[in-house]
Chain A
Amino acid sequence: MPPKSFNVGKERLIDDEEEPLQAVILADSFNKRFKPLTTSKPRCLLPICNAPLLDWTFESLSLAGVQEIFVICRSHADLVRAAIRESKWSKPSSGLKIVPILTAKETFSPGDAMRDIYTRGLITTDFILVNGDLVSNVRIDEVVKVHRERRKTNKDAIMTMVVKESGAKHRTRSRGDSAVFVLDAESSECLHYEPVTGYPPKTQVGIPREILAEHPEVEIRNDLMDCSIDVCSVEVPSLFQDNFDWLDLRRDFVHGVLTSDLLMNTIHCYVVKEGYAARVKDTKSYDSISKDILARWTFPLVPDDNHPGGHAYEHLRGNRYIAKDNTVVLSRTCKIGNNTLIGSSTHVFDNAQVISSVLGQKCKIGVNTVIRNSYIFDGTTIGANCVVENSIIGAKVHIKDKSRIERGCLVADGVVVGPEAKLRPFERVSKRRDTEVGDDDEDEESEEEEETEGDDQEEDDEDDEDESEDEDDEDSDSELEEAEANQAAIGATLGEDTNAIAWPLKSTEGEDSDADEMETFDNQRLMRMGDSASDLELTDPGSITSSEVDSDSDEEDGFMVSRTRRASASATSLPLTTPSTELLVPPLASAMEKEFQSEVSQSLERAFAEGHSVDNAAVELKTLRMSTNVPLRRVREAVIAAIVEQIPIVEGNMAQQRKEIANVVDRWGELIDRIGGVDAVETVSILQTHCASSQRLPLFGQVLAALYQNDLVEEDDIREWHRQPASRGEGMKPGTFSENMEKCWAVGTRMIQQFDEQEESEESGEESEEGED
């Protein structure tokens, strides 16, 4: 048949032209924001609008024409693998090749997963990196095209991040975990990336001066939503391999690549104009993405059209979606509000109200019950006269009559509560384990009984329980134990027939891992469903810098970026490290600078001790400076201080002392000018300040002379420094420091006298040490 041969020919053509597009799904969240819902299944298998998140992700990828998908699974890997095997995506007709990959239990972060990908050598070409909780209808293939096009001319462009304009206050944009992007307006190259936490509120963003110097037009944007879709080149996993301390894709990888002096790689952004893409990062985004789906922002990926789970829904007015197979029983007197999805075989009894909620399949909603803004998974029964608000209820839960579930509650699978249970706001409830805690073997067995599907994994775990258990299980165990131990203290009202335990309201894990500022409890609150966080102080506390900023604002107008946190919040400005603000050290940054100084002195000590070349030391300093983002003057101070302290003090022997100084300055003096920018006057005044506060005060003159000898400081510079009022110690509090400053200045005066004498007669000065030549 002619059309057939035509088709075949076309397919072959496509195959020849393009290498197969690969994608990597990180099917593990590497955090615990959905606990306790994620105790029995991974986050990517939680349903959103009655289809597992992983299916939404597959749909998004196959929309982009991806042919090969690697799914990196860690916790509950068997469940993920089974889900993939049974889904429609693994059928040959889907045109997808899905390879589940079980990564080691020691994989604790996306960075570890990337290193695993590298060691396995899976990736042969440009690939798409997404998380297993993505909902998107963006044409990713176009992003890939743009990325490949760019790679043809610029081999250093290693990654393209997909971002979407959303406005700073969009419900789907996380308040707790967002970022400020600095983009080149023309090439949309990402020049700087600054992660922003919601609490404590970030008020300042430092942007390296070089960016402003090198790029004529720069966009600083706080209105972009990170879609977590990255088109990466083959080099990306190997970069992770090289930098073993990178954990997070954004905060470590992007930040690291952009601030590195050694890696010449660039990262670009792709601002999508059309389409929707968002990640279910936390319960709050779960809520907002569900709402977005029901409000059809994800069109054509909507329940009545292209439901990834393959269910058929009928779309009624007011965005109500009812399963199409005529199995839904709605009582004549029940009320179904707008933006509601009801799965098949669900019964809603008399006078019940379901408003802006998602009901799974085979649910039962009792008489007079009110369900509002809630998400109820498959097979759950809710009794009569209950109220459920702003909560997520797992699968096969039984909530008995007259229970009340307040906003933000998470109820795990299989829980029974009630009757007359009262869950307080943000209560987290999971099923109690049957046996006593403490006896691990029994414990495992009982869990096995519960989790019929997770059998294999549990058996694996039994061999070496404590170590090989993944983080989730481990943590949940310890947390569970703690919760069980403290049931009385927690004091939740769960009703008579309950089989459940309540988790502590305020989890302790946030305080433990202070290393990760994203995971602090207060910041987590911003990611919680139903939490308005109105009691958190989200405005700029006291606006530390506002007065100083005001004085500078005239010159700085062009660089101001105002970001509004909330409707009521005052606009916060972020001073950039332009010269005028350089002297301004915000208290926030002082800790960082202290850390920086100790880092510098350590690295220089190492350099001195191991005899590095000046070049290497300079590069190291530059990297340090970039990573902590301190002004240049601080670097200079630190370097000069280190060099001066390096000089050994030789008592009584002038010649010997001079020789030591010459040694050190000859070897290392050059470094002062290599850290970026030459400013000899500043060098001298820093030297003075340092000597004035150090026991090497007597050496000031000699060091200055040595610098002069090495052409690091010119005669004019010394004169210039000498003229400055600050050099004489003016405006300082009287005390030893200012006296010392004056002593130094006096040495300088003598030196200048010598210069003058030198000019007049070519004779050398006698009494002062520094004028020997």
Chain B
Amino acid sequence: MGTAPEIANQRIVEALVSKLRRRQVVGSRQTAIETVLVLRQVISKARFSNIEHLIQIIKAVGRRLVQAQPKEHTVGNTVRKVLHHVREEYHAVSRAGPSSAQPPKSSFSISKFVSQGQPRKQNLTLPKSEARSTSLRENDPDDPDSFAKGLKPVLMEAIQDVLDELETVYDNVSKSARDHIHSDEIVLTIGHSKTVESFLKSASHYRNYTVIVAESAPSFGGHKMARSLSTAGISTFLVPDSSIYALMSRVNKCILGAHAILANGGMFAVTGSLLAVSAAQAHSTPVVVCAGQFKLTPLWNLYHEYGALDFADPSSVLGFEEGSLVDKVDVVNPYFDYVGPELINVYITNDGDHPPSSVYRLIKESYDDEDHEL
């Protein structure tokens, strides 16, 4: 029984696994959404008679996905988040069942944060709690499926919440853009982060300011970013990475994106971020990082102190056609920079602003401790 549901869903899991391995799904938000979709399918098809079993199934799928692409931390984060929600709903149901009391007002509940952002959802939760009045019995020998049948609609709601959060993450991060960017400021950014892009665009509705985009070689995401911003009517400069330091004295603020935010408050971000942040440090320019909460990762910098999480192929640095050189030169093309917590001033998430020092608390609220190791 234990593996049966897994087999049933193997195909869809394997499809995502191979996509992750082949890097056909890239970008932390895209990966997170794909993961949620797979988990929803897995849960909807899963047969389980008690909560432990369900959690085992989800963990097994999660483990498989994380192993497929350990460098894409959002996969693990999403699995943890779903587990957290599953437990929460389960506790709510099992407590609410007999007493039919309102769910306890846990002050740090993540669902509260989510619902704050989305008033629409709050309306939905009310009829839901009424429907729960029938109690759920685990391991019912007469009808082993009754537990699953009773819990599944609630779980689907919870997963839908996670999905909604992911889908609205840019809007929610951008809500406070007006408070961070002031008129006639010069803002420096690097690479092409969708979060930063929407953040800057949303600020441009209220303020008139200038953006300097570093092109972030060799991926040159900055080119795309600059084009997008200037079409939105923001005055934009595209500069090579080498001039970041020279320009820093005129910059009022650095706004960066993140790939993953680590438990110590550091982060992995696109190559060149460390360069920009160090320059900012030298000029005491504030560094602001925009990221959705799904990037919070309960891990430390596992790899190298001055490391890049991932190394791409060298062809964008040294062309393959440079035949005679290839043999003599080892080319390293790091994908990300590790930026330590001491270099960052504030994280702007879809759940308000936080200093790096309180990231650990956010992580504790978002995920259950027992899920840190999947």
Contacts and interface: CB of A to CB of B under 8 A. Distances in A.
Interface of A: 1, 3-4, 62-63, 92-95, 164-173, 223, 274, 276, 288, 291-292, 295-300, 305-306, 312, 315, 317-319, 338-339, 567
Contact of B324 (A170, A297, A317): A170
B40 interface: yes
A3 B304 contact: no
Given A63-B22, A295-B314, A296-B314, A276 B320 contact: yes
B320 A296 contact: no
Nearest to A312: B67
B311 interface: yes
User: Which of A296, A338, A339 has its CB near the most chain B CB atoms (within 10 A)?
Assistant: A296
A1 B321 contact: no
Contacts of A315: 311
Given A4-B41, A317-B304, A297 B11 contact: no
Given A166-B321, A171-B327, A338-B330, A297 B37 contact: no
A297 B41 contact: no
Contact of B22 (A173, A296, A300): A300
Contacts of B67: 312
Contact of B41 (A3, A296, A567): A3
Given A4-B41, A300-B21, A306-B21, A170 B323 contact: yes
A7 B41 CA distance: 11
Nearest to A308: B21
Contacts of A164: 320
23 contacts: A4-B41, A166-B323, A167-B321, A168-B323, A169-B324, A170-B321, A171-B323, A223-B321, A274-B315, A288-B327, A295-B326, A295-B331, A296-B313, A297-B314, A297-B326, A300-B21, A305-B69, A306-B22, A312-B67, A317-B307, A318-B330, A319-B311, A338-B330
Given A167-B322, A223-B321, A297 B315 contact: yes
B10 interface: yes
A1 B41 contact: yes
Interface residues of B, number: 34
B21 A305 contact: yes
Contact of B312 (A94, A165, A299, A319): A299
B44 interface: yes
B330 A295 contact: yes
B14 interface: yes
Interface in B287-330: 304, 307, 311-315, 319-324, 326-327, 330
User: Which of A169, A295, A338 has its CB near the most chain B CB atoms (within 10 A)?
Assistant: A295
Contacts of B21: 300, 305-306
A93 B68 CA distance: 15
A274 B321 CA distance: 11
Contacts of A567: 324
B364 interface: no
A319 B334 CA distance: 11
A724 B368 CA distance: 102
B320 A92 contact: no
A37 B315 CA distance: 32
Contact of A276 (B10, B14, B18, B313): B313
A531 B307 CA distance: 37
Given A93-B14, A276-B313, A165 B321 contact: yes
A305 to B, nearest CB: 7
Interface in B14-48: 14-15, 18, 21-23, 37, 40-41, 44
A306 B324 CA distance: 28
Nearest to B20: A306
Given A1-B41, A292-B326, 7 more contacts: A3-B40, A62-B18, A94-B14, A165-B319, A299-B312, A306-B22, A338-B330
A674 B23 CA distance: 59
A403 to B, nearest CB: 28
Contacts of B40: 1, 3
Contact of B330 (A165, A223, A300, A339): A339
Contacts of A94: 14, 18
A59 B235 CA distance: 46
A306 B71 CA distance: 12
Contacts of B307: 317
A169 B323 contact: yes
Contacts of A165: 319-321
Nearest to B21: A306
Contacts of A288: 327
Contacts of A300: 21-23
A298 to B, nearest CB: 7
Nearest to B11: A93
Contacts of B10: 93
A169 B322 CA distance: 9
Given A276-B313, A295-B314, A166 B320 contact: yes
A-B pairs with lowest CB-CB distance, top 9? A167-B323, A170-B323, A299-B313, A93-B14, A165-B321, A306-B21, A169-B324, A300-B23, A171-B327
Contact of A296 (B14, B311, B322, B323): B311
A114 to B, nearest CB: 30
A276 B316 CA distance: 12
A319 B14 contact: no
Nearest to B333: A296
Nearest to A294: B330
Nearest to A164: B320
Nearest to A324: B70
A181 to B, nearest CB: 14
Contacts of A173: 323
Nearest to B13: A93
Nearest to B311: A296
Contacts of A274: 315
A298 B11 CA distance: 27
Contacts of B323: 166-171, 173, 223
B22 A297 contact: no
A82 B332 CA distance: 38
Contacts of B313: 276, 296-299
B330 A297 contact: no
Contacts of B311: 296, 299, 315, 319
A548 B327 CA distance: 37
Contacts of B41: 1, 3-4
B160 to A, nearest CB: 11
Contacts of B321: 165-167, 170, 223
A92 B12 CA distance: 12
A167 B327 CA distance: 12
A163 to B, nearest CB: 12
Nearest to B67: A312
A94 B14 CA distance: 8
A172 B323 CA distance: 8
Contacts of B331: 295
Nearest to A3: B37
Contacts of B37: 3
Contact of B326 (A170, A223, A339): A170
B324 A167 contact: yes
Contacts of B15: 93, 95
A292 B331 CA distance: 11
Contacts of B23: 300, 305-306
Contacts of A169: 323-324
A297 B14 contact: no
Interface in B182-238: none
Contacts of B320: 164-166, 170, 276, 297
Nearest to B331: A295
